[in-house]
Structure 1
Amino acid sequence: MAQGDKAAVLPLETFYHGERLDQVRLSPDGSKLIALRHVKDDTLLQLIDLVSGDAVYLARTDNIKYKIGWVRWANNSHLLLSFRFGGVRGMGVKTHETRLFSMEAKEGAEIIPMVARTQKDEHQSQFQDDVIKIGFPDQDHFLLSLDREVAGQDNVYQVNVKTGKMKLQHKHKPGINSWMVDRQGVVRVGLGYDEKNVEYKIRLLPPGSEDWMTAWQWPAFSEQAVSVLGFGKDPKDLYIRANHEGRNAVFKVDLSKADFPRTLLLSHPQYDLEGGLIYSEAKDEPVGIYFSADGADSWYWDEEFKAFQAGLDKVLPDTVNYISDLSQNDRTYLVYSTSVTSPGTYLLGDRNDKSLMALAETNPGLDETTLVAKQKIQYKARDGLAIEGYLSVPPGSKAAPLVVFPHGGPFSSDNNSFDPFTAYLVNKGYQVFQPNFRGSTGYGHEFMSQAIGQYGMAMQDDITDGVQYLIAEGLVDPKRICIMGASYGGYAALLGVARTPDLYQCAISFAGVFDLKEQRSSYRKFTSYNLAKKQMGTDNDLLEQNSPINLVKQIKAPVLLIHGTEDRSVSVKQSRWMADELKSAKKQVQYVELENATHHLDYYSHRKATFEQIDAFLNHYLPL
């Protein structure tokens, strides 16, 4: 879109509908595709025959009882599907649960459970979809890491994809939660978490050895952390992500040598490398890693795939182009092409005839004619720390009102990719500021660790300092600013109007945290409780001082609170209590409770209600 052009304001549904298409997967022989299609509240599993062009729907869910978490090919004829839903365990604890199923890739096929129901008194695994290898020992079987005997300690089972018949392959060990295998299907990595001491460890079985050994061990949130990414064709080649000069980088580890020496493969001087490995199916080797940071895309160490990617980028020059799937011979492939002004397009390619065909857009109606690029900005916090953020400006509207939109997490970050809330706000006519305050991920361990036990302190100042920077630069009208966010972002929004009551004209929170002590306590029935205490801090006075529910008297701006009753991450009582306190203090507050809504607004009807409430609130309290 040219600067100065003004885009037509699109219907709200364009933004809250969500992706129409995702999880597009290519069969191993490259002859068929599967995809999840989303039609309002329903999700349909579609099969497309690339030879005949025929397309059929294999399954449908209304997403009320369960969602399809993921789907993948088990072989050329059968699929594996993970179903995700909210369950209730002992003592009324609400949980996330997964179940694993298979089905033949044909219309009318039966959906078959891969993990049989346990007896009444036996342990029922919470997560049943940790598939660690497909096609082993043959195309009719796969390997599953599952805690069927002892809670939290997985066995490895060989499972028949057609019947669900299971055979124990590797038995659980104390201190090990889950397992990984090499490319030959040998169990070679054990991942452990000590909840009492809040420590992680990685156990390894080197090739040619019968003795397991602890390769790495570290306390939570330590820069010593190691992530196992996968194996090479040779079982001695292990690929990991670990610290290199303050940033996460990719290494190859030689397991055949006693000290496990590392060879640095890829690193970035400014950003962590956070994506997963890209494998060549034909070579049975990792060839690169998915990575994106302002124009950088997938990175490769394999020369063939470097050239392959360069060819794609030449044909598709204005987008980041990810090779998202490959056939077994690497000749047929899928590309996911995206940018902030192009939410996503799937393309089908053939390396033999050098063809590349667009399949479908993920968000029809949103493209470069209706979206604008995010501008990266850099500013200094009050203590001198350099902070990055993104500013989105409607064309020809530099004096537009500003919506400050801090991310959730807080261990996450915003980037220059498409997101529906920013797109909606900018299309409506607002500027949007997304600060990556200290504690955001992707900027190295030291930057991230400043969120540990620091909720509401310098992290919040970074947001305030970013807004003040925009005001000082003459980019924002200081009397036309609202702050909104979800989860931790919702917490930051309410803390913003409490700590700096004259800076914002309104605040919006979805699924926000307002009582830090109560949020920390909500983990007490889970194995992550000690981790939560370390993350959020143990100083109760500090938690109370930084909880918006204790700062209600300082709030001047009108507030909109939205929360779902089936939120498994932040209890709905957080918003109920905050709404009650605001009403008792005679503050301007609107509270909207969404029946059966989740933390991530998984359902169309809940996204619709959320966007409509936000739209009406902004029309009233931050009019254009």
Structure 2
Amino acid sequence: MKPITTLKLISIMLVLWVTFISSVADAKVYPLEYFALREVVKNVEVSPDGKKLALIKIAGAGGNPTIEIYDTDNLQKEPFRFNSDPMEIQNFYWLSNSHILVYNRQKVRDKIEGFNQGAFEYLFALFDLEKKKFKTFKETNASVVSVLPDKQDKVILSFSPGNSKSTVDERFRPLSYYEFDLKKGTKKLLYRGKVALGQIQFDRKGNPTFARGFDITKGNYLWFVRDQEKDEWIEVFSNHEDSFETFSIWGFDPLDKNMILVTAHNGKDKVGFWSYDYKNKKFAELIYSRSDVDVTGARYHSNTWKHPGLVTAIAYATDKVHYEYLDGNEGAIYQQLDKLIPNAHRISIESRAINEQTFVISNRGPHDPGSYYLLKNGKLQLVGSQQPLFNAEDLADVKYIQYKSRDGKDIRAYITIPKGKGPFPTIVMPHGGPFVQEVVEYDEWAQMLANNGYLVIQPQYRGSLGYGLEFYKSAFIKGGEGGRKMQDDKDDGIAYLIKEGLTDPDRVALYGWSYGGYSALTAATRTPQIHQCVIAGAAVSDPLYQVNFYRDRARGAQLKEQETMWVDSVSPVKEAEKVNVPLLIIHGSIDQRVPPKHAELYIDELKKHNKSYKYVELDGADHFYNTLNYDHQLKLYQSIIDFLKNDCGPGGL
């Protein structure tokens, strides 16, 4: 597929409306209370006609999320506000110029009900802007699959059958799909999913487009395209469950209706972006690939009302997410915005009116925690920032580096560098997962630590996604490398930073959450020991206990990945006797992904072997970042900084 011919661009004259705070010579050390604030502004969207702007705001440290509605012709005018008290607003969708669908959650239990069975339930409600009234629906834990612009009173919802004990990969549990009438509060069944065809996508007219499923008899994952003319599903691709290769559909090829655009390995180490002949079930053309990293996906057209699902760019990630544009108009718009948005890093058009003249633009990067702008009539205005108390100049630089592991692998990492001159005390902060892709834009934990004088390294150790199949599989293919080579990759990053003069070898610690917490516990027993202390958050302490939660729900490659990784890797609960550095353990009291039992089991072993430790429990906190409120985050940050300063080895870190 060739790039779309660039159309004649309409000249967009942008006038910066905001005056930014001047830089200061020395970075300010901010109170931890500033970092503990939840996002002050988020989810900024314009109405379909571009006349209204809605956003979620959290005013004050303990504030409840509120939706504010502004007039886009006058952002200075007092907005209309509403909340969902006692529920908490999570998200919203413009359905029409006068109706907003609001997604809420509420804590309904004090304890979890088992693995992945948390204490929150989710509801949605319809808000009528003209009548200023809420209509709440009784359906719980439904997901909005598609809003329907041509049916403004209706949406498509999906419902999960609940906690599955199926041996089929949990991602392919069959879902039921309904067209929900928001005026009547009634729903009409569209599809009752089955394992063989259970995950369906719809376009904004309500037509089914793509689907996924699983053939239990053959052990194949399946992908389908809906033939709109024949009104039937066409199986277009299958992949055996033992394969580690991937296949994802991103949309139809706008230049050839017989083609779809996909990301896939197709026998290669790195994921590429392909044109795929779905009627003949064959790859047609490799549109884009790289030798260093995987293609991670696509960017869609910024006007989702006029061009829903239209792929306009191909994405990949190195120092940040980059895009190769297939649509010249879209590429030119983003190129202009990159030059005009202060501290531009990752810019995204979050929302665009049907008339295409009104935009909401976001930016996020090392010197911008997340800002939103309104572009209307050639005028660019700052709507708000997720963290407005920070001066951009005080935030730390982030650099993307590469170093060699001791066995010769190329390891990438992000380092967040504090102000001043090194060598610095350094925190190793491995990501969770471990089989995920991490791209560091603005990382609150890293920025908080850097603001307090610590250099932070976030190594993309073996097993991290985005760097090809061989790199991913090297974490487990010959046995579990947790606590072994995966840990070596992190330690080798410190050796590199010491050699570069950035890290003080006598002032190194490790802090991690989830798998990162597991990594902290394994680091606490290493010899020779390079860390002065470790901090383990929401840590897996007993890998066998953890894998037993989902051993009977996984098959094929995923089962091999999880069993080899967790069963064969180092088990911290069995190694507690070897702990040789000060240790801080932090856990949420209602963590559904890594239940608090992990902390209890590990602490019992520490007591048995007379090992000293500190334990901090975050009451009412789940595993996930969006469940941590202001009090949770403040307690977390205070515990970390106090421990690093006062308990991390002789004299503190």
Match of residue 72 from structure 1: 93
- Compare 232-241 and 323-332 and name the one that shifted more: 232-241
Q: TM-score under structure 1 normalisation?
A: 0.88
**Aligned match for 2:640, one of 606, 610, 614:** 614
**Structure 2: distance between partners of 1:190 and 1:450:** 31
**Structure 2: distance between partners of 1:288 and 1:481:** 41
User: Aligned-pair distance for 1:484?
Assistant: 0.7
Match of residue 16 from structure 2: none
Match of residue 441 from structure 1: 465
Kept in 2, the 8 Å contact 1:153–1:173? The answer is yes
Q: TM-score under structure 2 normalisation?
A: 0.84
User: Aligned-pair distance for 1:3?
Assistant: 13
**Structure 2: distance between partners of 1:46 and 1:3:** 31
Match of residue 120 from structure 1: none
Task: Please state if 1:238 is matched with 2:238.
Answer: no
Residues 560 and 213 (structure 1), Cα distance of their counterparts in 2 relative to 1, 3 Å cut: same
Task: Please state if 1:319 is matched with 2:340.
Answer: no
**Aligned match for 1:47, one of 65, 69, 76:** 69
**Aligned match for 1:580, one of 575, 579, 604:** 604
- The aligned amino acid for 2:153 is D
User: Aligned-pair distance for 1:5?
Assistant: 5.4
Q: Deviations over 1:343-370 (max 9, x none)?
A: 12101113xx322111111111224321
**Aligned match for 2:396, one of 366, 372, 386:** 372
5+ unaligned residues in a row in structure 1: which ranges?
Answer: 118-124
- The aligned amino acid for 1:200 is Y
Residues 514 and 195 (structure 1), Cα distance of their counterparts in 2 relative to 1, 3 Å cut: farther
Q: Deviations over 1:569-617 (max 9, x none)?
A: 1011111221221122122200112221111242111111111111110
Match of residue 357 from structure 1: 381
Match of residue 441 from structure 2: 417
Q: Deviations over 1:268-295 (max 9, x none)?
A: 4422232553223434433235655325
**Structure 2: distance between partners of 1:475 and 1:2:** 28
**Aligned match for 2:498, one of 466, 471, 493:** 471
Residues 347 and 620 (structure 1), Cα distance of their counterparts in 2 relative to 1, 3 Å cut: same
**Structure 2: distance between partners of 1:341 and 1:407:** 21
5 Å-filtered alignment, 1:91-102, equals: 95-96=117-118, 97-102=121-126
5 Å-filtered alignment, 1:50-61, equals: 50-51=72-73, 53-61=77-85
User: Aligned-pair distance for 1:434?
Assistant: 1.2
Match of residue 277 from structure 1: 299
5 Å-filtered alignment, 1:157-172, equals: 157-172=178-193
5 Å-filtered alignment, 1:163-562, equals: 163-182=184-203, 184-193=205-214, 200-219=221-240, 222-231=243-252, 236=258, 238-243=260-265, 245-255=268-278, 257-259=279-281, 261-279=283-301, 280-281=303-304, 282-284=306-308, 285-289=310-314, 292-294=317-319, 297-316=322-341, 318-320=343-345, 321-350=347-376, 353-452=377-476, 453-500=480-527, 502-523=529-550, 527-528=553-554, 533-537=559-563, 542-543=568-569, 546-562=570-586
Kept in 1, the 8 Å contact 2:263–2:297? The answer is no
User: Aligned-pair distance for 1:22?
Assistant: 1.1
User: Aligned-pair distance for 1:322?
Assistant: 1.5
Q: Deviations over 1:517-562 (max 9, x none)?
A: 00111235x745887643322598734xx01111112211010001
User: Aligned-pair distance for 1:328?
Assistant: 1.6
Q: Deviations over 1:52-81 (max 9, x none)?
A: 54412221446xxx5433211122221223
User: Aligned-pair distance for 1:506?
Assistant: 0.5
RMSD of aligned C-alpha atoms?
A: 3.2
Residues 182 and 312 (structure 1), Cα distance of their counterparts in 2 relative to 1, 3 Å cut: same
Q: Deviations over 1:90-116 (max 9, x none)?
A: 986651554333222357411321xx5
Match of residue 156 from structure 1: 177
- The aligned amino acid for 2:494 is V
Kept in 2, the 8 Å contact 1:497–1:503? The answer is no
User: Aligned-pair distance for 1:87?
Assistant: 6.9
Paired residues, number: 604
Match of residue 11 from structure 2: none
Task: Please state if 1:25 is matched with 2:25.
Answer: no
- Compare 585-594 and 310-319 and name the one that shifted more: 310-319
Residues 261 and 378 (structure 1), Cα distance of their counterparts in 2 relative to 1, 3 Å cut: closer
- Compare 340-349 and 410-419 and name the one that shifted more: 410-419
**Structure 2: distance between partners of 1:380 and 1:318:** 31
- Compare 9-18 and 197-206 and name the one that shifted more: 197-206
User: Aligned-pair distance for 1:302?
Assistant: 0.6
Kept in 2, the 8 Å contact 1:75–1:135? The answer is no
- The aligned amino acid for 1:138 is K
5+ unaligned residues in a row in structure 2: which ranges?
Answer: 1-20, 165-172
- The aligned amino acid for 1:477 is D
- Compare 443-452 and 477-486 and name the one that shifted more: 443-452
Task: Give the secondary structure class of the aligned counterpart of 2:312.
Answer: strand
Task: Give the secondary structure class of the aligned counterpart of 2:397.
Answer: coil
- The aligned amino acid for 1:323 is I
Residues 540 and 472 (structure 1), Cα distance of their counterparts in 2 relative to 1, 3 Å cut: closer
Residues 401 and 4 (structure 1), Cα distance of their counterparts in 2 relative to 1, 3 Å cut: farther
User: Aligned-pair distance for 1:194?
Assistant: 6.2
Match of residue 145 from structure 2: 132
- The aligned amino acid for 1:79 is I
Kept in 1, the 8 Å contact 2:115–2:593? The answer is no
Q: Deviations over 1:219-267 (max 9, x none)?
A: 4584432122234678655332222643333334444x32354444444
Relative contact order (alpha carbons < 8 A, sep ≥ 6): 1 or 2 greater?
2
Task: Give the secondary structure class of the aligned counterpart of 1:480.
Answer: strand
**Structure 1: distance between partners of 2:416 and 2:177:** 48
- Compare 96-105 and 574-583 and name the one that shifted more: 96-105
Kept in 2, the 8 Å contact 1:86–1:94? The answer is no
Match of residue 122 from structure 1: none
- The aligned amino acid for 2:46 is L
Kept in 2, the 8 Å contact 1:201–1:218? The answer is yes
Kept in 2, the 8 Å contact 1:224–1:243? The answer is yes
**Structure 2: distance between partners of 1:98 and 1:207:** 34
**Structure 2: distance between partners of 1:143 and 1:235:** 25
User: Aligned-pair distance for 1:196?
Assistant: 9.5
Residues 299 and 604 (structure 1), Cα distance of their counterparts in 2 relative to 1, 3 Å cut: farther
